[in-house]
Structure 1
Amino acid sequence: MTTVLAARDLWQSWFRWTTAGEFAGFLAPALIGAVTSSPQLLVLAGMVEGAILGAAQAVVLRRVDRTLNGRGWIGATALAAAFAWAVAMLAVHNGDRLNTLPLGAVLPIAAVAGIAVLLSLGTAQWFVLRNHFPSAHLWIWANALAWGAGLLMFTAVTTPLWQPGQPPELIALVGALGGLLMAATMAAVTGAALTRLMRRK
């Protein structure tokens, strides 16, 4: 069983690496989004974001369990991030069509899309964790909570700061600030979940 001190060290290491990895990775879609609205490029940038995040997280996970497949973790994280961005781009670029539908039809679509996005990363990573932690299924729900909180933080920060007609540099800077706070929020929640999984192991 992990000691209190070891759990604290694990959380701190995970928080630092995950925050840094997600922030660095998020710069790719933030910069791409500042200069173009191409859904294909944004999905590709999202995959880059996921790969960088996965690589940072794998550094900590490999210290916890040397048998964990680091490349598998990075690949799963990259694919899940691309999926999440693809769902988001479908919603954005079909906004006009969705606005023509009755509210009773839009709400279920939005709910399914939102749930799919929130569960995507944790589910993909669960396929790697399941052979290493007996309660790995909890990782799916922890990630959903973490990303939900992180996205709320991002929206709360960027919505009042982004204004029409701003230069690309300012758009990117606001996006980077929101991305940093989103990353820290997500890292804090998933770090707590990881230490709990370690105790159960």
Structure 2
Amino acid sequence: MSTKLTTSVWTTWFIWVTAGEFAGFLAPAVVGALTSSGPVLVLAGVAEGAVLGAAQCLVLRRIVPRLNARDWIVVTALAAGFAWAVVLLAVHYGEPLGTLPLAVLVPLSAVAGMGVLLSIGIGQWLVLRHHVDGAFRWVWATAVAWCAGLIVFTAFTTPLWQPGQPAARIALIGALGGLLMAATMAAITGAALARLLGRPDM
């Protein structure tokens, strides 16, 4: 694949997926500023995943015509909801979990973290494996992408979020952090997609 055509694949994916994830992330960003209800936040996470999956399908259907868009969107939405549920459970039970011995806490945290990072990749792999050879590499690529995206989000929002801020400011900071997270994730997965498919014609 030439450098020029590889860049075309990456650019198409980057634009659509950044926009899709940013639009989807607005749901939990706004909901999180208005309520701390776990179930509502999980539902907002499901909505985020559905929008992200739909944006990804706009690109994937051009190069994988037989890809089932409904299945892709559903697994992405459910995986996103699962990831949000794991994170919220960790936050909710953070104090009692902190009293556990390190020999228990470290493996438990590692399993939970891997579950969050791998959830979307595994869900999407279940669909992609029917159409692309070596599709399991997508699981690791998305894990790396989400890990990087979450690091960028945390680095941006943590210094800016302060106790007692208006809900609108909290939501704005979260949305901007979400945009940076989306762009980071899209950039990495776009490069992985171009390499995995080996198909520049998008």
Q: Identify whether the pair has TM-score above 0.5, normalized to the shorter chain.
A: yes
Which segments of structure 1 move beyond 4 Å, counting only runs of 4 or more? Answer: none
Task: Give the whole-Å Cα distance in 1 for the aligned partners of 2:75 and 2:62.
Answer: 19
Residue of structure 1 equivalent to 2:154: 155
Q: SS where residue 32 of structure 2 aligns?
A: helix
8 Å Cα contact 1:134-1:200 kept in structure 2: no
Matches within 5 A, 1:137-148: 137-148=136-147
Q: How much has 1:93 moved relative to structure 2?
A: 0.7
TM-score, length of structure 2 as denominator length: 0.96
Residue of structure 1 equivalent to 2:163: 164
Q: CA RMSD in A?
A: 1.3
Residue of structure 2 equivalent to 1:47: 46
Q: How much has 1:102 moved relative to structure 2?
A: 2.2
Task: Give the whole-Å Cα distance in 2 for the aligned partners of 1:50 and 1:137.
Answer: 20
Residue of structure 1 equivalent to 2:15: 16
Task: Give the whole-Å Cα distance in 1 for the aligned partners of 2:84 and 2:114.
Answer: 13
Task: Give the whole-Å Cα distance in 2 for the aligned partners of 1:65 and 1:108.
Answer: 38
Q: SS where residue 36 of structure 2 aligns?
A: coil
Q: Which amino acid aligns with 1:32?
A: V
Q: SS where residue 146 of structure 1 aligns?
A: helix
Q: How much has 1:3 moved relative to structure 2?
A: 4.4
Identity %: 63
8 Å Cα contact 1:47-1:78 kept in structure 2: yes
8 Å Cα contact 1:14-1:187 kept in structure 2: yes
Q: How much has 1:200 moved relative to structure 2?
A: 7.7
8 Å Cα contact 1:14-1:60 kept in structure 2: yes
Matches within 5 A, 1:21-170: 21-170=20-169
Q: SS where residue 68 of structure 1 aligns?
A: coil
Do the aligned partners of residues 181 and 133 (structure 1) sit closer, same or farther apart at CA in structure 2, a change above 3 Å counting? same
Unaligned stretches of 5+ in structure 2? none
Q: How much has 1:107 moved relative to structure 2?
A: 1.3
Tell me the alpha carbon deviations over residues 108-135 of structure 1, each in whole angstroms, 9 at most, x when there is no partner. 1111100111110000000111011111
Q: How much has 1:65 moved relative to structure 2?
A: 1.5
8 Å Cα contact 2:135-2:196 kept in structure 1: yes
Q: How much has 1:6 moved relative to structure 2?
A: 2.9
8 Å Cα contact 1:135-1:200 kept in structure 2: no
